[in-house]
Amino acid sequence: MHQLHQVIDYHYPVQGTFHVTGGARLVGEVKVSGAKNSALKLMAAALLAEGKSIISNVPNIADVHIMEELLTRLGCKCAYDENTLELSIDVPKEPGHRADYDLVRKMRASINVLGPLLARIKEVEVALPGGDAIGSRGLDFHIKGLELLGANIHLEHGYIIAKAPNGLTGAAVTLDFPSVGATENLMTAAVLANGVTTIDNAAREPDVVDLGEFLIAMGAKIEGLGSPTIKISGVKALQPSRHATLPDRIVAGTWAFAAAITQGDITINGGIAEHLELPLEKLVEAGAVITTTPNGFRVKMDKRPRAVDVATLPYPGFATDLQPFVITMNAIAQGNSIVTENVFEGRFMFVNELLRLGAQIHVDGHHASIHGIEKLSGAPVAATDIRAGAGLVLAGLVSDGVTVVEDAFHIDRGYPGFAESLRELGAKISRD
């Protein structure tokens, strides 16, 4: 029988507006939070072992609190300390198996409970996810992979229903695309499967490596993390463990572009330059001076940036999550550029908002051709996803007058204390 627990009604914020005054040069230091994309997956992976796992360096953002609520509804006891950024997750012997639509629609990462619950209790129901409006991001890769491990999966009334009454069996899985979510779901399913699983064309993102290291600390046998082929030898059971979330490379990249866009000088403490090789190379090409520091790296730009061409690709390519920032930089750069989006087809929705600020951008399919102008012009705009929201705030800093960014709650999902950090760097920004 599933343990009874109190259901907390978590109200997702639906308002919030940033007022950004143009003309700021961002100067100073920032500290990078723990990675959102990693923390959420680590939280889901805790379901694999009965008992209390502790995850540190967990960012205080809306998505973490939604995942907390999801785990609570599955019977876990979660406790998050906002001062230490430490989260404890006490997992019952038999967690629940249903992830409801009201939470899943708010955050795509909810799909990451699919693998752990299927492996641990042999059945799971997860609502089809919602989240950012940046493309279809189909779940075919997840489903095909888990079926190869022996799961029976069907869709019913908007839910993915997966069962493996006899447990999962190791198999060779080749992904058509190096999907991060699919790689993670397959890893968390395979760790308790009978036999050996290989995942070819696996995602190589640092977040995937971080998850793998947590699973190894729990007792999993995994080889090849960070390479295109991951080998997992199934074990009978895992133990709860302790793990520190790695720093968020997308947040670090956001601050790096913020320095370049505003002709600023920002020291990014906690940023790992090795996780951002290509974006930082592009910033150097644009005219930035980048130096390593004892705790991270520093990005300085003392002139108008030069336009740079970029094509997004899975890691170690240029991250799609940084695409809004390179487009914003190119919009006020010297020269013309082309940005090609190869990962999420809907990411260019952001461009429509930049056009309202006077940017000269033409979108044709996967390509955006950008003619740089000296300054944008403040106007009301709306965030369509986390990164678009942050990109529009940065665009507001290089616009004449005031830019009003609506639907700011999107930004809260990925950036703890974004407005406060910007103010400390010299920006004029308020929120209501």
Catalytic site residues? 132
Tokens of 304: 């108008």
Tokens of 61: 């953002």
Asked if residue 193 lies in contact with residue 185, where contact means CB atoms within 8 angstroms, the answer is no
CA distance 329 to 306: 9
Query: What tokens does 218 get?
Result: 């729990």
- To the nearest 10 degrees (0 to 180), the angle between helices 140-148 and 114-121 is 20
Closest among 197, 164, 199, 194 to 179, alpha carbons compared: 199
- Show the tokens assigned to 352: 């429509």
| Residue 208, CB-side half-sphere exposure with 13 Å CA sphere | 28
Token pair recorded at residue 289? 């001076």
Q: CB neighbours of 40 closer than 8 A, spacing ≥ 6?
A: 63, 64, 67, 107, 109, 112
Measuring CA to CA, which residue among 139, 151, 149 is closest to residue 197?
149
Q: What is the dihedral of CA 422, 424, 429, 432, to 10 degrees?
A: 100
Give the number of other Cβ atoms within 10 Å of residue 288's Cβ: 25
